[in-house]
Amino acid sequence: MINRDRRIDLSYRLFNSSDLFIAGLLCIPALVFSHNLYFRAVLFLYFYVFAWVQGKRNSLVMTLCISASIVFFNLLVPYGKVLFQLGGFKITQGALLSGLEKAITLEALIMLSKTSIRSDMQLPGTFGSLIAESFQIFEELLAQKKQFDWKKPIESIDLVLMSFSEKPITQHEWQNTIKNKKERTAGRFLLLLQTALVWTFWLAFAF
Amino acid sequence: MDQPIKRHSTLALLGALCLFLSTIEYLIPKPLPFIRIGIANIPIMLSIDLFPFSSFFLLVMIKVIGQAIITGSLFSYVFLFSLGGTLASALGMFTLRRFIGKQGISFIGIGIVGALLSNGVQIILAWLFIFGPSAQFIAPPLLLLGLVTGLLLGIFCQNFSEQSRWYERALQERLHDKP
């Protein structure tokens, strides 16, 4: 099993954040507009694995809990054929399918998002530089989080705001780490292949 | 000639605090993806008296988009919930505070209104995208949770605004900058 740090490193060497963003954007229509539950489930599994490959943290227990709660709430309003009964609680086909569809779509979109959005993504314009500056301070805050005393939150936040408002800006590289052109080409090819496959299966089997 | 030392803008600083608090909140497990205590809204509430509307709106967008980048939820319904809830509560809180004034409504008041607005919009979105009519069952606990968290955040912001040296200085700078 490849450890998480190595997976993150590989992902940064292969993929550029803008390429990931565009590839993710291109896969959204296939996921949202397909009416085939199996296709959506396959996409969910694919993006779950891809998120793991990129070293993104995922909790299978949380994913299952969220899906179960969505299915449960959908079952509260029964419609369609009664499949079985648990005490007085009717499990109906329509409500169950609707719940499964919503849960799978939501989880698949979350996984797709995780694979497509990376914190080194650059946004254009003044807003882009402002958000980049916020991310720069945020990274410094994360590095200092052990100094935060959560028993005294007011004093801690006040101290942090005071120190950062007086601190001069340090130059920060907000660039992708890809140096090797071959690796970048390979990454682009993989993302192109992913998009082509998703679209082909969507248009051929699940449109 | 010496270059003047560039310091972080208050807007970027509060934006970073939103992202930091979002990360802390993200680590707290929850049964539904869009349920949040809302600690990342603290900088937004504090900024109401510090910024004009344009800067306030930018801060709200930094919070929503930055949060989506960190959690990787930009392409999902979760982003829509976050955007809808944050915009509704931010606009509601800003309008109330500016129209009624500091003497008329405290941070506790705007905290409660903001949380209820945010949860109200999220219930509507949950009705549309996830739960359908079953959303009526999650509405009461969600609104109750909103009431409690809004109250707690409001109390925190009220105390922070009274005790923080940074906040006092930022308020004075804002008064100084006003024509």
Per residue, the 3-state secondary structure of chain A, as one string, reads CCCHHHHHHHHHHHCCHHHHHHHHHHHHHHHHHCCCHHHHHHHHHHHHHHHHHCCCCCCHHHHHHHHHHHHHHHHCCCCCCEEEEECCEEEEHHHHHHHHHHHHHHHHHHHHHHHHCCCCCCCCHHHHHHHHHHHHHHHHHHHCHHHCCCCCHHHHHHHHHHHHHHCECCCCCCCCCCCCHHHHHHHHHHHHHHHHHHHHHHHHHHC
Instruction: Please tell me which of the candidates A123, A137, A154 has its beta carbon nearest to residue B8.
Output: A137
From B170, B51, B49, select the one nearest B105 (Cα to Cα): B49
pTM of the model: 0.74
Q: Are residues A156 and A185 in the same domain?
A: no
Contact B38, B145 (CB under 8 A): no
Best A91, A134, A146, A164 residue to mutate vs chain B (most B CBs within 10 Å): A134
Q: Is the Cβ of B29 closer than 8 Å to some Cβ of chain A? A: yes
- Does a structural domain hold residue B174? no
Residue B7 has phi, psi (to 5 degrees) of: -115, 160
pLDDT score of A182: 83
Q: Are residues A100 and A154 in the same domain?
A: no
pLDDT score of B150: 93
Test B66 with A134 for CB contact under 8 angstroms. Answer: yes
- Does a structural domain hold residue B15? yes
C-alpha angle A51-B118-B171 in degrees, rounded to nearest 5: 100
HSE, side-chain direction, 13 A CA sphere, residue A25 = 6
What is the domain count for chain A?
2
Q: Is the ipTM of this complex over 0.95?
A: no
Q: Are residues A162 and A79 in the same domain?
A: no
Q: Are residues A55 and A112 in the same domain?
A: yes
Q: Are residues A163 and A186 in the same domain?
A: no
Q: Is the Cβ of A119 closer than 8 Å to some Cβ of chain B? A: yes
What one-character DSSP code corresponds to residue B49? T
What is the domain count for chain B?
1
Q: Are residues A134 and A104 in the same domain?
A: no
- Does a structural domain hold residue B69? yes
Contact A164, A137 (CB under 8 A): yes
Q: Are residues A166 and A190 in the same domain?
A: no
- Does a structural domain hold residue B21? yes
Q: Are residues A138 and A194 in the same domain?
A: no
The CB density around residue A165, as the number of other CB atoms within 10 Å, is 16
CA–CA dist B37, B158 (Å, integer): 17
CA–CA dist A69, B139 (Å, integer): 14
Residue spans of chain B under pLDDT 70? 1-7, 26-35, 178-179
Q: Are residues A100 and A144 in the same domain?
A: no
Instruction: Please tell me which of the candidates B15, B69, B164 has its beta carbon nearest to residue A154.
Output: B164
Q: Letter for the amino acid at B137?
A: F
- Tokens standing for residue A108: 């698949």
- Tokens standing for residue A77: 């309003």
The tens-digit pLDDT sequence of chain A (207 residues) is 678 888 888 888 899 888 898 898 899 888 888 888 999 999 999 999 999 999 888 888 888 888 888 888 888 888 888 888 888 888 899 889 988 988 898 888 888 888 888 877 777 788 888 888 888 788 788 777 767 787 888 998 999 889 888 877 665 444 455 567 888 899 999 999 999 999 999 888 766
Contact B21, B42 (CB under 8 A): yes
- Tokens standing for residue B158: 């009220």
Q: Are residues A190 and A103 in the same domain?
A: yes
Instruction: Assign residue B122 the CATH number of its domain.
Output: 1.10.1760.20
Contact B65, B175 (CB under 8 A): no
pLDDT score of A45: 94
Q: Are residues A75 and A156 in the same domain?
A: no
Q: Are residues A27 and A107 in the same domain?
A: yes
Q: Is the Cβ of A24 closer than 8 Å to some Cβ of chain B? A: yes
From B106, B123, B88, B111, select the one nearest B37 (Cα to Cα): B111
For B143, the 3-state DSSP assignment is helix
Q: Is the Cβ of B175 closer than 8 Å to some Cβ of chain A? A: no
Best A72, A149, A161, A198 residue to mutate vs chain B (most B CBs within 10 Å): A161
Structural domain including A157 reads 123-173
- Tokens standing for residue B53: 């509307």
CA–CA dist B84, B73 (Å, integer): 14
CA–CA dist B119, B133 (Å, integer): 16
Structural domain including B106 reads 10-168
